[in-house]
A and B are shown apart, each in its own frame.
Chain A
């Protein structure tokens, strides 16, 4: 079946780069998404990538897509305490663009 997998935790030092990884199963997905959820808040879109791209950069964020391995990563440069959050990757289901398959979420912990 369709599945999206992420590791549950990532701990990095302030100022270092964070790399959050995600693997997915549906190779027909046209878009893949990264959402961020801060404590006590709703989710907000960080970025998304179209499947014909290998990389997308937006300020401190870099998304890499390896379609062959079905691997998606989110790199956050110069990680700050404000980046502490849970990061979810998601892809649409085969049936509907409305329905997303969500990863379990990676909690990013920043050490001073």
Chain B
């Protein structure tokens, strides 16, 4: 299995809703990432988990809450989002090359979020 699977593919939510995005990989990768991508822009890093511990939080607002229940799963809990949070949310994983070596990311297809 060489894939990163993200669900749902599309999500529409109101500003008062609570929802979650899910990501799963079975490649034995020990680093997992959440990125946000606006149309026609490069991806922006939000969070990195390394060995199930939060390693990087890029000053993301608290209405986004990541969770890594085990080495294969990554969630992003969403609460009280704003319309400007509408974007493509990409999950990625890698073998964990913090110190050296190429750190190749495998991306999921993304969850397209619309906040009304």
Of all chain B residues, which has the CB nearest A30? B100
Report the stretch among A13-21, A43-51, A76-84 that lies at the interface.
A43-51
Residues of B contacting A30 in the complex (Cβ-Cβ under 8 angstroms)? 100
With A96-B56, A97-B97, A98-B56 already in contact, the answer to whether A45 and B104 are too (CB < 8 A) is: yes
The answer to whether A43 touches B99 (Cβ under 8 A) is no
Of all chain B residues, which has the CB nearest A99? B45
Main secondary structure of the interface of A (DSSP, over half): strand
CA distance A100 to B46 in the complex (A): 12
A-B contact count (CB 8 A): 60
Report B51 CB to chain A, min CB distance, Å.
12
Of all chain A residues, which has the CB nearest B112? A40
Main secondary structure of the interface of B (DSSP, over half): loop
The answer to whether A97 touches B109 (Cβ under 8 A) is no
With A41-B109, A96-B56 already in contact, the answer to whether A88 and B31 are too (CB < 8 A) is: no
The answer to whether B105 touches A31 (Cβ under 8 A) is no
Which residues in chain B, 30-88, are within 8 Å of chain A measured between CB atoms? 31, 33, 40-43, 45, 48, 50, 55-56
Interface size on B, residues (CB 8 A): 29
Chain A 27-67 per-residue mask, 1 if CB under 8 angstroms from chain B, else 0: 00011010100000111110010100000000000000000
The answer to whether B110 touches A100 (Cβ under 8 A) is no
The answer to whether A98 touches B107 (Cβ under 8 A) is no
CA distance A11 to B31 in the complex (A): 36
The answer, yes or no, to whether B1 is at the interface (CB within 8 Å) is no
Residues of B contacting A33 in the complex (Cβ-Cβ under 8 angstroms)? 102, 104
Residues of B contacting A102 in the complex (Cβ-Cβ under 8 angstroms)? 42-43
The answer to whether A103 touches B105 (Cβ under 8 A) is no
The answer to whether B100 touches A97 (Cβ under 8 A) is yes
Residues of B that sit less than 8 Å from A by CB: 4, 6, 31, 33, 40-43, 45, 48, 50, 55-56, 90, 92, 97-110
Residues of A that sit less than 8 Å from B by CB: 30-31, 33, 35, 41-45, 48, 50, 88, 92, 96-100, 102-105
- Known A30-B100, A99-B56; further 7 A-B contacts with Cβ < 8 A: A31-B103, A42-B109, A45-B105, A45-B106, A96-B98, A98-B50, A98-B103
